[in-house]
């Protein structure tokens, strides 16, 4: 590692949660076979992820792509120290999940910060949803499961435009009071910019001491990595991303693409930041996903591979 341009600054460690098996697969047009999902998730485990969003307890008629969640949870074989996360959309989903509660360590409950997106996504007002999820969150905590909250459209709404920062952080505080120990801020339709992200994460850290704050960016307009860098510089050390740049958001149409895990990890490693991940294996998993889907995925590292400094390249 002597002849490279990596930053030799202070040693820093970040956490990267792989959300492709849920956020990604959910938004792909194809329904992926259960055995393929299991194989891909196991490959992610081999790559070193300690946090993976594995499944969702949504209604099978609403999201048929994830109707095999329990089979996937039963079929995967991950190291014991991996935190398996499941997404819970409502109280029925919570009850269904609790019936198999030995199969995961963390549950995510969510709301959209904007009324219109929340209505479009789950047909409830923000206030109605918050009443529900706070009650559900207390139940999650009482069951001894880690309660994670996600606030979608934290950085902008495709229907309403500006989403006030204070309003988002008010929701985050309510989640924290209900027992959430990790709160993710989602740029659900790719409207964030690095300057705003920087202000946002500094303000969030001030208002939510002791709560883990997670950045969840989408690359809808190609600004995902710039936003991740801005969050990092503002002190954020927890990120979510999707191998192969899979995924998007169900509403509105065209809101494609979480940031690519392999591109994010490549950036962190080149900056000298430790993720605990084996980048080669992350890329391998993304290429496997490409094979399973039978079409090219859009991450950059899947094509270029990791940066190589030490080899004998001419010029
Ligand atoms: Zn997402």
pLDDT band at 2 (very low <50, low <70, confident <90, very high): very low
Residue 29's pLDDT is 77
Cα 250 to Cα 47, 67, 165, 227: the distances in Å are 28, 16, 23, 22
Reported as a single tens digit per residue, the pLDDT across 160-180 is: 999 999 999 999 999 999 999
Is the pLDDT at 1 greater than 50? The verdict is no
Lowest-pLDDT choice from 24-28, 44-48, 202-206, 235-239? 24-28
Domains, the chain, in order of start with CATH, read 15-314 (3.20.20.70)
Q: In the predicted model, what is the mean pLDDT of the chain? A: 92
End-to-end CA distance of the chain: give it in Å, rounded: 19
- Say if residue 222 is preceded by a cis peptide, omega within 30 of 0: no
Report the predicted TM-score, pTM, of the whole model to 2 decimal places.
0.93
* Residues tagged active-site: 249
If you measure from the C-alpha of residue 11 to the centroid of ligand 1, how many angstroms do you get, rounded to a whole number?
28
pLDDT digits (tens, 9 = 90+) for 65-108: 888 999 999 999 999 999 999 999 999 999 999 999 999 999 99
pLDDT tops 90 at residue 20? yes
Gap between the Cα atoms of 299 and 305, Å rounded: 10
Rounded percentage of the chain residues whose pLDDT exceeds 70 = 92
Task: Give 294 Cα–ligand 1 centroid separation in angstroms.
Answer: 22
Confidence category of residue 62, pLDDT binned at 50, 70, 90:
confident
For residue 246, report the distance from its CA to the centre of ligand 1, in Å: 9
Distance 255 CA to ligand 1 centre (A): 10
Q: Which residues surround ligand 1, an ion (CB under 5 A)?
A: 23, 258
pLDDT exceeds cutoff 80 at 31: yes
Q: How many A from CA of 9 to the centre of ligand 1?
A: 31
């Amino acid at each position: 590692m002597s002849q490279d341009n990596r930053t030799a600054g202070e040693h820093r460690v970040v956490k990267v949660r792989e959300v492709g098996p849920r956020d990604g697969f959910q938004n792909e047009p194809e329904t992926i076979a259960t055995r393929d999902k299991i194989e891909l998730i196991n490959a992610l485990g081999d790559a070193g992820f300690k946090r993976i969003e594995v499944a969702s307890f949504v209604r099978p008629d609403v999201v048929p792509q994830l109707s095999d969640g329990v089979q996937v949870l039963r079929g995967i074989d991950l190291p014991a120290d991996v935190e398996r996360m499941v997404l819970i959309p409502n109280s029925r989903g919570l009850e269904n999940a609790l019936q198999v509660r030995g199969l995961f360590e963390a549950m995510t409950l969510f709301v959209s910060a904007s009324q219109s997106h929340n209505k479009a996504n789950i047909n409830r007002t923000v206030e109605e949803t918050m009443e529900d999820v706070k009650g559900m969150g207390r139940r999650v905590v009482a069951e001894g499961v880690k309660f994670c909250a996600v606030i979608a459209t934290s950085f902008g709404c495709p229907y309403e435009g500006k989403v006030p920062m204070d309003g988002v952080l008010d929701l985050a505080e309510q989640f924290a009071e209900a027992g959430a120990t990790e709160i993710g801020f989602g740029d659900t339709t790719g409207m964030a910019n690095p300057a705003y992200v920087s202000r946002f994460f500094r303000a969030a850290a001030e208002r939510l001491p002791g709560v883990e704050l997670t950045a969840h960016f989408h690359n809808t307009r190609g600004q995902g990595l710039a936003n991740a860098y801005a969050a990092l510089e503002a002190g954020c050390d927890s990120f979510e991303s999707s191998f192969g740049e899979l995924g998007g958001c169900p509403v509105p149409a065209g809101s494609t693409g979480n940031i690519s895990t392999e591109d994010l990890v490549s950036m962190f490693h080149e900056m000298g930041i430790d993720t605990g991940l084996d980048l080669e294996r992350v890329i391998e998993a993304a290429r496997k996903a490409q094979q399973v889907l039978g079409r090219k995925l859009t991450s950059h590292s899947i094509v270029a591979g990791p940066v190589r400094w030490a080899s004998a390249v001419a010029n």
